[in-house]
Amino acid sequence: MWMKRCAAPVIAALIGVAASPPAHATTDPSRDARLRTEIQELVDVDGVPGVAAVTSRDGRPVRRVAAGLADIPANRAMRPGDRFRVASITKTFVAAVVLQLVAEHRLALDQPIAGLLPEPVPHADLITVRDLLDHASGLFDYSADPRFDPGAAYTPAQLIALGAAHPPYFLPGTGFYYSSTNYIVLGEIVRRVTGHTIQDEVRTRLIRALHLTGTTFPTATTVAPRQARGYVFAAPLPPRSGPALDATTRTSAGAAGAAAAMVSTGDDVDRFLSALLGGRLVPQHLLAEMERATPGADAFFTAAGMPGVGYGLGLTITSTPCGTAYGSLGDIDGYTSSVMQLGHSRVALLLNTNSLQPSLRRQTLSIAEQELCRAD
């Protein structure tokens, strides 16, 4: 997830909330009943404007369902193929590119980043590429800087400077702190090594290679075709309370960058995770590194209200009643996203409200876990 610590004042129109349409399914309703009921409850009980869900097994879609509204004032129903800002799922795409560069011997996991980065950061001679990938660098999270304005158009160098202006949380390799600064730095390292922006490398190596036709990595804050509008509420969820505030573009693409700027669909994040965990994007020995839990990550997420969640190299590692699931989670103003795989089964859940409130994130994780456990 994109752990934004502070935000500029809300500047958004107040929008009345329309009645939500029933869940929409694209497969046999008898097979979809439980999932449709669960996501409809997110709308009717928890007050989420809309939800899209995709489940698959052995690379084949099993269920594609949606509930609620993608656009409240237009009363537009959510569809399974709608687009969302997927926030920190971006980090998993970036990690895959970095690991590909490691496989090409253009980077090494345990090399210090001194000399790889034009912008100064504390302890660059001690921080390794691995430390950035698994949030063990200690670098301060730029979004926690009181000067940070999520609506402003930043360059990567400006975001790194915000983080570098503060003392590190700890010495590199001695702790875990989920800091988006790590992935902004990785994006700049990719640019230094390849001569191309991280956006270009992700497009070439992943989006085009996997034919992810609903996925973009924007540098400007625009709304994609069939993108669900994102909403926040005057009072925390659940239940929904107060008017919906349109937050679709409240966080700029420049403020999110290599940490959280991507837009995608349930089908596309499912296809990407299938390719990654299936060994089609990085070699198996590097995939094993991605799946290795970082010490201290589980305690960090437990303190954040998400017990059972850990972190590897750009992957979340979630303990479920039926085994360990690997995937990615994202939160940004107006959007929640998750994609997880256990065995050969995957589930993607996309919501058009953010779930920084732990109760809603736990609810979405519970739905994902139940789907994975039913499948396996």
| pLDDT tens digits along 152-198 | 999 999 999 999 999 999 999 999 999 999 999 999 999 999 999 99
Closest CA relative to residue 350, chosen from 206, 214, 215, 228: 228
CB 116, CB 98: distance < 8 Å: no
pLDDT band per the 50, 70, 90 thresholds, residue 19: very low
What is the Cα–Cα distance from 151 to 5, expressed in whole angstroms? Answer: 14
CB atoms within 10 A of CB 58: 10
pLDDT value at position 341? 97
pLDDT value at position 153? 93
* Residue 43, pLDDT above cutoff 60: yes
pLDDT value at position 208? 98
Distance between first and last Cα of the chain? 26
Closest CA relative to residue 370, chosen from 83, 7, 153, 55: 55
Tokens matching residue 137: 């660098």
DSSP 294: P
What is the Cα–Cα distance from 317 to 287, expressed in whole angstroms? Answer: 13
pLDDT band per the 50, 70, 90 thresholds, residue 57: confident
User: What digits encode the pLDDT tens for the residues 78-112?
Assistant: 999 999 999 999 999 999 999 999 999 999 999 99
> What is the share, in percent, of the chain residues with pLDDT greater than 90?
76
CB 66, CB 42: distance < 8 Å: no
Closest CA relative to residue 39, chosen from 30, 52, 27, 26: 52
**Cis? peptide before 73, omega within 30° of 0:** no
**How far is CA 63 from its chain centroid?**
21
What is the Cα–Cα distance from 333 to 117, expressed in whole angstroms? Answer: 29
pLDDT value at position 33? 82
pLDDT value at position 1? 58
- Mean of the per-residue pLDDT values for the chain? 89
Closest CA relative to residue 24, chosen from 53, 59, 61: 53
* Residue 10, pLDDT above cutoff 60: no
Cα dihedral: 42, 44, 50, 54 (round 10): 50
Q: Sort 109 into a burial class: Cβ within 10 Å, 0-12 / 13-18 / 19+.
A: middle
pLDDT value at position 62? 77
Query: Model-level pTM greater than 0.75?
Result: yes
Helices within 45-88 (DSSP H only): none
pLDDT band per the 50, 70, 90 thresholds, residue 241: low
pLDDT band per the 50, 70, 90 thresholds, residue 305: confident
**Cis? peptide before 172, omega within 30° of 0:** no
* Residue 18, pLDDT above cutoff 60: no
pLDDT value at position 354? 83
Closest CA relative to residue 291, chosen from 94, 178, 133: 133
* Residue 24, pLDDT above cutoff 60: no
Closest CA relative to residue 223, chosen from 326, 83, 59: 83
What is the Cα–Cα distance from 64 to 52, expressed in whole angstroms? Answer: 8
Q: From residue 49, give the alpha-carbon distance in Å to each of 44, 46, 237.
A: 9, 9, 11
Q: Could you give phi then psi for residue 242, rounded to 5 degrees?
A: 80, 180
CB 156, CB 187: distance < 8 Å: yes
User: What digits encode the pLDDT tens for the residues 338-373?
Assistant: 999 999 999 999 999 986 567 788 888 999 998 998
Tokens matching residue 305: 């209200």
DSSP 42: H
Q: Within a 13 Å sphere around the CA of 277, how many CA atoms are in the beta-carbon half?
A: 29
